[in-house]
Chains A and B, each alone.
Chain A
Amino acid sequence: MTPKSFLFVNRKAPQGSAHAAEMLDAALIAASFDQHVHLAFLDDGVFQLVGGQRPELLGQRDLGTAFSELGEYDIDHIWVERDSLSERGLSEADLTIPVTLVDRAALAALMARIDVVISA
């Protein structure tokens, strides 16, 4: 079967709900089935990638470890919306993994050319 391109659109902060963890799991599963996986982080989703998080203080899962291992799943298309970062007083230096910064128009174009979009 020909692989499809998948885009996981992350718009939620990491701790307030299970959205971030569920999306990450779904992305890893898609990648393990040899699909072409893209991750996009926009709006409050950019908070997922902020360095120095200690979710164990709240008894929650540390997504940072999984994010740092995305390369092992051949997930290397990680897009972060520049405007979402700057609106929140953050910059690329605040993020825990290497990403590609894009503007809204570029992300819109990506959303338009992808086979499967999953958003939360």
Chain B
Amino acid sequence: MNGPLHIVNATPYASGALESCLAHLSEGAALLLIEDGVYAALADGNFAERLAEGIRGHALYALAPDLAARGLATRRLIDGLRVIDYPDFVQLAAEHSTAQSWF
């Protein structure tokens, strides 16, 4: 069983949720960006470096429909990001010990 699945739904520019989440990643934990959380994945954004550093050694996912809805699907996103769909979300939740929301 993997560690916790952390789910962030707020932009890192308006909320401290992602920053705090990154500070609480344990071994085997994964991070999923949903809703406004997907804005953190913009490769040229000011938060990209912090996210790349904080996610090292962990899996990073973003929900495809939330990226597409915000016009980000075709933009340059952070390296190593895995874009997933709703069924993958369910699968991820099942594969991790817990699912924890940060908002």
Q: Using a Cβ cutoff of 8 Å, how many contacts connect chains A and B?
A: 68
Residues of B near A47 (CB, < 8 A) are 11, 39, 70
Q: Is the CB–CB distance between B69 and A16 below 8 Å? A: no
Interface magnitude class on chain B: 20 to 34
Contact yes or no, B11 A52, CB < 8 A: no
Given contacts A50-B71, A53-B70, A58-B65, contact A89 B13 (CB under 8 A): no
Interface residue total, chain A, C-beta cutoff 8 A: 24
B43 at the interface (CB under 8 A from A): yes
Q: Are A89 and B65 in contact (CB under 8 A)?
A: no
Residue of A nearest to B45 (CB): A89
- Name A's interface SS: loop
Between A and B, 27 residue pairs with Cβ closer than 8 Å are A12-B14, A13-B11, A13-B39, A13-B70, A14-B70, A15-B36, A16-B9, A16-B11, A16-B35, A43-B13, A44-B11, A44-B13, A44-B14, A44-B36, A50-B70, A50-B72, A52-B71, A53-B70, A53-B71, A56-B69, A57-B65, A60-B69, A87-B45, A87-B46, A89-B42, A89-B76, A90-B42
